[in-house]
Amino acid sequence: MGEISLPRVLIVSIPKGGTHLLMQAVLGIPGMTQTRKNVFKPSTNPILPGQMGVMHLPHSRQIERFLKDNQVKVLFISRDPRDIAVSMMHFIANAFPSHVLYPAFQQFLVTKQTRLSAIINGVKFNTDIVDTVLANSLHVASGFSEFPNIFESCSPYLPWCKARNVCHVTFEELAQPSDRRTKALGRIVDFLLDDPSSLQMPKPVMVAKMEQNINPAVSPTFRAGRVGDWKLEFEPQHKADFKRIAGDMLIDLGYEHDLSW
């Protein structure tokens, strides 16, 4: 057996896209640890072997090239944007008081229906918020005049799906124990480890260790973790708005074949 050679790993995700699920899987690889170091801070070294960084990082070719040049292996996880919208709505309302929309959720957008509509459609502070004091405070707090719609929230990250030297997995693949999860974890192992035998264990054993380390309930941001949760939350108007704003995105990601859902 050769010396253990662990990869430099960066997990990239859309907010509420399954970040902790993938983190837990990677940390199931013996010897891997998480770093909180800023990968792009000039005064620091890139991620070291055996370290995993995590970022909500919009794609750019410059960043992609930087990571490749520094031998950082990128794992990108995506999720059905409809479930992202539902998860974000609940997260802001119940666990994210520092979020720019939290005051609006407490004072103005007080029902699940209006809150979900805000995530899907976005919020123009000066026209959608009737309380001018609240509208001004949201503007000042965020530095922007509006909160982006679901397409604008997701689209900056999606080029990672097709970027070179990136392993793309989905929340849906990892969410539940299944052959699908096992195959996805196997792809991750093949991508991260040039020589899996250097870890002195068979690949199926390593995959099993990764799977055993997955426990969504211990994530600080975990709520339900269901696939297709949007079906329980979307009303007809939410569906119509989502199709108009981000229907093509669902098709491009393979979650729908057309707009008839």
Q: Per-residue pLDDT tens for 180-200?
A: 999 999 999 999 987 766 677
Average pLDDT, the chain: 90
Asked if residue 126 and residue 100 are part of one domain, the reply reads yes
Task: Please tell me the number of Cα atoms within 13 Å of 192 on its side-chain side.
Answer: 35
Is the Cβ–Cβ distance between 64 and 57 less than 8 Å?
no
Residue 1: what pLDDT?
Answer: 39
Q: What is the pLDDT of residue 163?
A: 93
In a domain, 20, yes or no: yes
pLDDT in tens, 5-29: 899 999 999 999 999 999 999 999 9
Q: How far apart are CA 90 and CA 85, in angstroms?
A: 9
Over range 106-125, report the average pLDDT: 94
User: Would 46 be classed as within a structural domain?
Assistant: yes
- pLDDT reported for residue 220: 57
Residue 125 lies in a domain: yes
pLDDT tens for each residue of 153-180: 999 999 999 998 899 999 999 998 899 9
Pair 120, 12 in one domain: no
In a domain, residue 3? The reply is no
CATH number at residue 211: 3.40.50.300
Residue 169 placed within a domain: yes
Are residues 133 and 232 part of one domain? yes
Where helices occur in 166-256 by DSSP H, the ranges are: 171-174, 179-192, 203-212, 230-233, 236-253
What b/e readout covers 187-196, taking b as 16+ CB neighbours within 10 angstroms? bbbebbbeeb
At 85, the amino acid letter reads A
Instruction: Give yes or no for a contact between 123 and 101, defined as CB atoms under 8 angstroms apart.
Output: yes
Same domain, 145 and 239: yes
Predicted local distance difference test score (pLDDT) of residue 162 = 92
Q: Are residue 140 and residue 170 in the same domain, yes or no?
A: no
**100 and 38 share a domain?**
no
| 178 and 200 share one domain | yes
| The predicted structure's pLDDT at residue 61 | 94
Name the residue type at position 174.
L
Mean pLDDT score, 97-106 = 92
Q: Is there a domain that residue 259 lies in? A: no
Does the model's pTM come out above 0.85?
A: yes
CB 18 within 8 A of CB 77: yes
Phi, psi angles (nearest 5°) of residue 64: -55, -45
Of residues 68 and 219, more confidently modeled: 68
217: its two tokens: 């309930």
- Whether residue 261 is contained in a domain is answered as no
pLDDT at 201: 82
Q: What pLDDT shows up at residue 34?
A: 95
Per-residue pLDDT, 40: 80
Q: Do residue 188 and residue 231 come from a single domain?
A: no
Domain tally, the chain: 2
The residue type of 246 is: A
Q: Do 141 and 122 have their domain in common?
A: yes
Q: What per-residue confidence (pLDDT) applies to 2?
A: 45
Q: Which of residues 243 and 140 earns the better pLDDT score?
A: 243
Q: Do 104 and 213 fall into the same domain?
A: no
DSSP code per residue over 9-71: EEEEE-TTSSHHHHHHHHHTSTT-EE--S-TT-TTS--PPTTEEEEE-----HHHHHHHHHTT
Instruction: Dump pLDDT digits (tens) for 46-74.
Output: 799 999 999 999 999 999 999 999 999 99
User: Which residues does residue 72 pair with via DSSP β-bridges, in sequence order?
Assistant: 8
Residue 131's pLDDT band (boundaries 50, 70, 90)?
confident
Is 85 found in the same domain as 64?
no
Asked, for residue 1, whether it belongs to a domain, the answer is no
Segments forming the whole domain that contains residue 21: 8-80+155-218
One domain, residues 45 and 22? yes
